[in-house]
Amino acid sequence: MTAHTTSVPSEAPNTDARGMWLGLSVLGLIVLSVFALRFGLRPISWGSIWSALTAFEPLNPDQIVLREIRAPRLVGAVLAGASLGMAGALMQGMTRNPLADPGFLGVNAGASMGVVLCVLVLGITDPAAFVWVALGGAFIASLLVFLLGGGNQANPARLILAGAAVSALFLALSRSLLLVSQQTLDVYRFWVLGGFDGIDFGTITALLPFFAVGIVLSLLASFVLNALMLGTDTARSLGVRVGLAQILIGLAIVILCGATVSMAGPIAFVGLIVPHIARWIAGADMRWMLVFSASIGAALMVAADLLGRLPLFGGNMQAGVMSALIGGPVLIWLVRRNGVRKL
Amino acid sequence: MILRLPFLSMHLPARAITVSLCLVSLLVVALLSALHLGAYPLNISQIGQAVLGHAEGIQRMIVLDHRLPRILTAIGAGAAFGLAGSMFQTMLRNPLASPDVIGFSAGASCGALLAMILTGGFVLFGALIGGVVTALVVIGLAWKDGLHPYRLILVGIGASLTLSAGADLLMTKLDALTAAEMAKWLVGSLNARNWADVQLIWVGLAVLLPLSLWLQFPLTRLAMADDIANGLGVALSSMRLAITATAVALVALAVSVAGPLPFVAFVSGPISRRLVRQGKPALLQAAIVGALVTLLADMAARSVPLVHLPTGVFTAIIGAPVLMWLLLVQFKKGTL
C-alpha cells in the first residue's frame, strides 16, 4: 500500500540547463523582491528605496515604512517560502508520496494546539510570546508522530498515517476548544490567518538560528536522500544508515516548518506545490531539487505576498491563500504540458 | 471458507467474517445507545415501543421524528464516506488519498459559498453542482491516453488547493453572521435531519453499495502495478473511470445529507484494512467503520450540553485515536 515504490529513471536534464534555470529563478526572486519593496498601500519611489539603503533618514516616512514594515516582511516571506519549499521536497522524498506536505509531521497542528492552550489556560494574548509556544507545540507533536510512526525503524507509509492521524486529532481538539471559548477564538483567529503582516526584525533575528540549522541539515540530508529514494532496502545495501538518515531528515523538516509556522502561522500549500514544480526543472536529483525548491518557494511566497496586497483581493489577503491561488493552476498546467514524472 | 454459487465463487476468510460481525454488533450497540441518548429520558422498553410504532405523543415524536432519522442518516452517510475513501485509496495506491484528492470537497465548499453569495440560499444545490463539476473537470484535465493515478493526484492537488483558497477568498465576502453559519455547514453537521434525508442516502446506498462490492474485484487487481493488473485482464482506464464515478456519487450523496464531514473517508480504509489483515481492500468493513465513526462522532456532538457543536468537529477525535492505537499495536507486533 505504499505509494509509488517504482522510481522511474528520468532522463537527466543536462547540468547547463539546470544552472540556467537556477539563475533565472534567482533573478525572478530579486525582481519580485524589488517590486515587493516598491508597491503597497503607500507607493515608494525607486529613489527612496535606494536612499533607504545608502543614506537612511530616520524621519522620512517613506524610509520608515521601507525599513520597519516592507523589509522585514520581505525577508520573512523569503525565509518562509524557501523553508517550506525545502521541507516539502524532503518530506515528499523521504515518504515517496506526492501527497505528503511538511505539515504531515504534525508541525502545524502541534503549533496551533500550543497557541490555543496557551491562550486558554495561561491567558497569554501577546503574539510575540506565541513564537516559542508554537515552536514547542510543533516539536512535541512531531515527536509523537515519530514515535507512533515506528521510531527509528519508520516505514514511510506508516509515518504518513501516523502524521495524518496526529494532525487531525490535534486540529480537531483545538477546533473544539475554540468553539467553547469565544475569547480564545478571537486571539487564535488572527494568529491562524498567518501571513507576514505584523512581522518585525526582532522575531526574524530570534528565529534565524533555527532557519540556519534547518537549511544546513537539509543540504546534508540531500546527499543520502538520493539513495533513500530508491527504497529503504536498496538504500541500506548502498551503505546508508536508514534510521539515522530518517531522523536527520525529520529533524530538518521539523526545524524548518516549526520556525516558519511560529513566524507566519500555518501556511499549508507552499510545501505541497513547490516540490512538484521544482521536480520538472531539476529532475530526480535531490541536491538540485532542494535548491530549486528553495528558490521557487521563496519567489512564490514573495509573489503571493505582493499580490495579496492588491486592492483586487481586499488589499490584505494572506500569502498562504494567494500562493495556492497562483501555485495550483501552475501545477495543473505543468502536469498537462510535461506529462508525469514519478517520485 | 469458500463460497460456491452457480454464478460466483469466492474466498471468504474467517477473520474478515469475524471482524464484520464484531463491527456490526458494535454498530447495533451504538445505535441503541444513540436512541437512548438525549435530554428527554426514555428507557429501553419505551424506545422499543416507539420504534415498533406502539407509542404515542411525545415519546413517538422524539424517537421517530428526532433521534432515529438523525442516527440513520449518520450511519448511511458514514458508510458512503468510508466506501468512497477506501475505493480512492486503493485505486490511487495512496493511503492519503480521499475524495478530497479529486477536489470534490473543495469544489463543494466553493459551490456552496457561491450559491450563498449569489442567491442567498440553495447552499446544498450549489455544493453538489460545485463538487460534481470539479470532479468532472479534474478527471477531464487528468485524462491523457487514459487515466493514470499519479496524474490524477497531481491535477487533483492543484485544483483542490486553488479551490480551497478560492473558498477562503469567498468567505471574506460574506458578512460575519452568514460566515459563521456557513463555517458550521462546511464542517458538516447532522442537526435536524428528517426522513427525506434518510430515504435519499439509503436508496442511494442500496444501489451503490452492491456496485462498489462488485467493483472490489477489479479494484483488488488495480491495487497491484499497472502491468500486472493489465495482464490480469483489467481494462485500466475504464475501470478507473467506473470506480471514480461510483466513489464521487457516494460522496455527493453523503455530502448532501451530512455536509462535508471531514476525516471519515480518510480513516475508514486504514482502520478496516488493519482489522481485517488480508492484504487487500476491505470495502464492506470500511463502510461499517465509517458508519460507526460517524455515529459515535454525532453522539459525542449531541452529548455536549448547551452548545450545538457540528458533528464534523468530532469525527477526527473519534477516528484518529483508533488509527493511532492500531499503529501502536502493529508496531509492538512488528507487522507491516
Q: What value does the mean pLDDT take over residues B102-125?
A: 86
Question: In this structure, is residue B1 part of a structural domain?
Answer: no
Question: Is A110 in contact with A170 (CB distance < 8 Å)?
Answer: yes
Q: SS in 3 state form for chain B? A: CEEEECCEEEECCHHHHHHHHHHHHHHHHHHHHHHHCCCCCCCHHHHHHHHHCCCCHHHHHHHHHHHHHHHHHHHHHHHHHHHHHHHHHHHHCCCCCCHHHHCHHHHHHHHHHHHHHHHCCCHHHHHHHHHHHHHHHHHHHHECCCECHHHHHHHHHHHHHHHHHHHHHHHCCCCHHHHHHHHHHHHCCCCCCCHHHHHHHHHHHHHHHHHHHHHHHHHHHHCCCHHHHHHCCCCHHHHHHHHHHHHHHHHHHHHHHHCCCCCHHHHHHHHHHHHHCCCCCCHHHHHHHHHHHHHHHHHHHHHCCCCCCCCHHHHHHHHHHHHHHHHHHHHHHCCC
Query: Across all residues in chain B, what is the average pLDDT?
Result: 85
Domain range for residue B204?
Answer: 15-333
| Closest by Cα among A257, A281, A204, A342 to A22 | A281
Is residue A340's pLDDT more than 80?
no
Distances (CA, A) of B157 to A269, A295, A335, B152, B335: 10, 21, 11, 9, 31
| pLDDT, tens digit, 9 for 90 and up, residues A184-223 | 777 777 777 667 777 888 888 888 998 999 999 998 888 8
Long-range contacts of A6-12 (CB under 8 A, 24+ apart): A6/A342, A6/B225, A7/A96, A7/A229, A7/A230, A7/A231, A7/A284, A7/A342, A7/A343, A8/A341, A8/A342, A9/A284, A10/A283, A10/A284, A10/A341, A11/A283, A12/A283, A12/A284, A12/A285
- Contact of B165 with chain A, judged by CB distance below 8 Å, is answered with yes
More confident residue, A307 or A214: A214
Find chain B residues with C-beta within 8 A of A145's C-beta: none
Interface A–B counts its CB contacts (< 8 A) at: 153
Residue B57 lies in a domain: yes
In the predicted structure, residue B246 carries a pLDDT above the cut 60: yes
A114-123, A265-274, A333-342, B278-287: range with lowest mean pLDDT: A333-342
Q: Please tell me the distance from the alpha carbon of residue A282 to that of residue A18, in angstroms, as a whole number.
A: 6
> How confident is the model over A111-142, as pLDDT tens digits?
888 888 888 888 777 766 777 888 888 888 88
Q: What is the pLDDT of residue A3?
A: 41
Q: Return the residue in B110, B145, B160, B161 with the most chain A beta carbons within 10 A, the one to mutate for interface testing.
A: B161
In chain B, pLDDT over 70 holds for what percent of residues?
A: 97
Share of chain A above pLDDT 70, in %: 87
Task: Check residue B84 and give its pLDDT.
Answer: 93
pLDDT (mean) for B234-249: 88
Q: How confident is the model at residue A83 (pLDDT cuts 50, 70, 90)?
A: very high
User: CB of A142 within 8 A of CB of A250?
Assistant: yes
Mean pLDDT of A224-233: 81
| pLDDT at position A9 | 43
Give the gap in angstroms from C-alpha B125 to the nearest C-alpha of chain A: 25
Which of the four pLDDT bands, split at 50, 70 and 90, describes residue A87?
very high
Nearest chain B residue (CA) to A320: B165
User: Are A322 and A313 spatial neighbours (Cβ–Cβ below 8 Å)?
Assistant: yes
CA distance readout (Å), B255 to A148, A251, B48, B82: 32, 39, 30, 13
- Residue with C-alpha cell 514547542? A136
Comparing CB atoms, the residue among B93, B158, B317 nearest residue A332 is: B158
Taking the CA of residue B143 and the nearest CA in chain A, the distance in Å comes to 9
Q: What does each C-alpha distance from A33 to A139, A162, A280, A290, B168 come to in angstroms?
A: 31, 38, 24, 21, 26
Q: Which of A43-47, A262-266, B72-76 has the lowest mean pLDDT?
A: A43-47
**What confidence tens digit (pLDDT) does each residue in B3-25 have?**
777 777 777 788 888 989 999 99
Nearest-CA residue of chain A relative to B173? A314
Query: Is the predicted pLDDT of residue B335 greater than 60, yes or no?
Result: no
pLDDT band at B205 (very low <50, low <70, confident <90, very high): very high
- pLDDT for B12: 75
Q: How many CB atoms lie within 10 A of CB B328?
A: 14
pLDDT at A318 exceeding the cut of 50: yes
Residue A145 has pLDDT above 50, yes or no: yes
Domains: count for chain B = 1
Say how many CA atoms lie within 13 Å of A240 toward its Cβ. 24
Q: Is A174's pLDDT higher than 70?
A: yes
Residue B263 lies in a domain: yes
Name every chain B residue with its beta carbon within 8 A of the beta carbon of A273.
Answer: 157-158, 161
Query: Does a structural domain hold residue B4?
Result: no
**Residue A11 confidence (pLDDT) above 60:** no
Mean residue pLDDT across chain A = 80
Q: Decide if B319 is inside a domain.
A: yes
Considering chain B, what percentage of its residues have pLDDT values greater than 90? 22
Comparing A12 with A74, the larger pLDDT belongs to: A74
- Could you give the count of Cα atoms lying within 13 Å of B38 in the half-sphere of its Cβ? 19
Q: Which residues pair with B266 in a beta bridge?
A: none
Give A4's pLDDT tier (boundaries 50, 70, 90): very low
Q: Which residues of A touch B153 (CB under 8 A)?
A: 98-99
CATH number at residue B204: 1.10.3470.10
Whether B23 is covered by a domain: the verdict is yes
- pLDDT over 60 (residue B334): no
Higher pLDDT, A215 or B180: A215
Q: Of the given ranges (A15-29, A131-145, A150-164, B48-62), which has the lowest mean pLDDT?
A: A150-164
- Residue A153: what pLDDT? 61
Is B320's CB within 8 Å of A169's CB? yes
Is residue B196, in this structure, part of any structural domain at all? yes
Does residue A181 carry a pLDDT above 50? yes
Q: Which of A99, A314, A324 sits opposite B94 (nearest CB)?
A: A99
Q: Does domain A68-338 have CATH number 3.40.50.2000?
A: no
Query: Which of A319-333, B81-95, B204-218 bottoms out in mean pLDDT, i.e. has the lowest?
Result: A319-333
State yes or no: pLDDT of A311 exceeds 80.
Answer: no
Confidence of residue A35 (pLDDT cuts 50, 70, 90): confident
Which residues from A are below 8 Å from B323, CB to CB?
161, 165
- The residue with greater pLDDT, B2 or B139, is B139
* pLDDT reading at B148 higher than 70: yes
The model's pTM is 0.82
This complex has an ipTM of 0.74
Three-state secondary structure along chain A? CCCCCCCCCCCCCCHHHHHHHHHHHHHHHHHHHHHHHHCCCCCCCHHHHHHHHHCCCCCCHHHHHHHHHHHHHHHHHHHHHHHHHHHHHHHHHHHCCCCCCHHHHCHHHHHHHHHHHHHHHHCCCCHHHHHHHHHHHHHHHHHHHHHHCCHHHCCHHHHHHHHHHHHHHHHHHHHHHHHHCHHHHHHHHHHHHCCCCCCCHHHHHHHHHHHHHHHHHHHHHHHHHHHHCCCHHHHHHCCCCHHHHHHHHHHHHHHHHHHHHHHHCCCCHHHHHHHHHHHHHHCCCHHHHHHHHHHHHHHHHHHHHHHHCCHHHCCCCCHHHHHHHHHHHHHHHHHHHHCCCCC
pLDDT in the model for residue A342: 54
* pLDDT band with cut points at 50, 70 and 90 for residue B204: very high
Closest by alpha carbon to A156, among A276, A2, A273? A2
**Side-chain half-sphere CA neighbours of B159 within 13 A:** 33
pLDDT band (50, 70, 90) for residue B321: confident
What tens digit of pLDDT does each residue of A274-305 get?
Answer: 888 888 888 778 888 899 999 999 999 998 88
Specify burial of residue A79 (Cβ count, 10 A radius: 0-12, 13-18, 19+): buried
Distance CA B45, CA B42 (A): 8
